[in-house]
A = this chain, B = another copy of it.
Amino acid sequence: MANSKFEYVRNFETDDRCLPNTWIVVRVDGRGFHKFSEKHEFAKPNDKRSLDLMGKAAGRVMTEFKEICLAYGQSDEFSFVFKRDMDLHKRRASKLMTSVASIFTSAFVFHWPQFFDIPLKYPPSFDGRVVLYPSTQNLRDYLSWRQADCHINNLYNTAFWTLVLKGNLTNAEVISLKVL
């Protein structure tokens, strides 16, 4: 190509390779899913259709990236663990996190009609991040952290919505109970 005059701007791109021999975790999170779940009338405390769709989208990510050895999801987030010694995309953080976020989103929208009767009202999205864990114990603790978070949130939501749905209390009344 002859466009050398402008091509110097390429040098402004930085190298963001992940440290070798570390566990690379990419976690995606729903953007504005509080509003999204209301607009699409998600069941409370847990919407099985949504959780199944999240699982389906995660499966698509794992199909495209054989280098992912484990995935764990809850609510509107999903964590993907890449094998410690993998070298996909030269371990470039940008490439890994944007690809995962994009594939996950794409599959979520693509497979929506298989799980929901109502159509999508607007396109949902997920952001992502990369975190490195040097030891297997660190990775295990990361997963335990997400699992504990899941358990605590689920316990809270189950109690909250039971009081609202079966106890005939309003949201505000449950919050004022201060028991939770």
Determine if A123 is an interface residue (Cβ-Cβ < 8 Å).
yes
Segment with Cβ contacts to B, from A17-25, A38-46, A170-178? A17-25
Let me know if A106 and B109 touch, CB within 8 A: yes
Known A109-B123, A149-B1; contact A135-B134, beta-carbon cutoff 8 A: yes
By a CB distance below 8 angstroms, the chain B residues around A1 are: 148-149, 152
Instruction: Name the CB-closest residue of B to A21.
Output: B134
Known A21-B135, A138-B9, A138-B21; contact A127-B99, beta-carbon cutoff 8 A: yes
By a CB distance below 8 angstroms, the chain B residues around A15 are: 14-15, 17
Determine if A132 is an interface residue (Cβ-Cβ < 8 Å).
yes
Segment with Cβ contacts to B, from A68-76, A90-98, A159-167? A90-98
Let me know if A6 and B110 touch, CB within 8 A: no
Instruction: Name the CB-closest residue of B to A109.
Output: B109
By a CB distance below 8 angstroms, the chain B residues around A135 are: 21, 134-135
A-B pairs with beta carbons under 8 Å apart, 27 shown? A1-B152, A3-B148, A3-B149, A5-B141, A6-B142, A6-B144, A6-B148, A9-B133, A9-B138, A12-B19, A12-B138, A13-B129, A14-B15, A15-B17, A19-B19, A19-B132, A20-B134, A21-B133, A21-B134, A22-B22, A93-B94, A98-B126, A98-B127, A101-B101, A106-B108, A109-B110, A134-B135
Besides A97-B97, A105-B109, A107-B123, 7 other CB < 8 A contacts? A1-B148, A12-B131, A12-B132, A12-B133, A12-B138, A98-B129, A109-B109
Residues of chain A whose beta carbon lies under 8 Å from any beta carbon of chain B: 1-3, 5-15, 17, 19-22, 28, 31, 60, 64, 93-95, 97-99, 101-111, 120, 122-135, 138, 141-142, 144-145, 148-149, 152
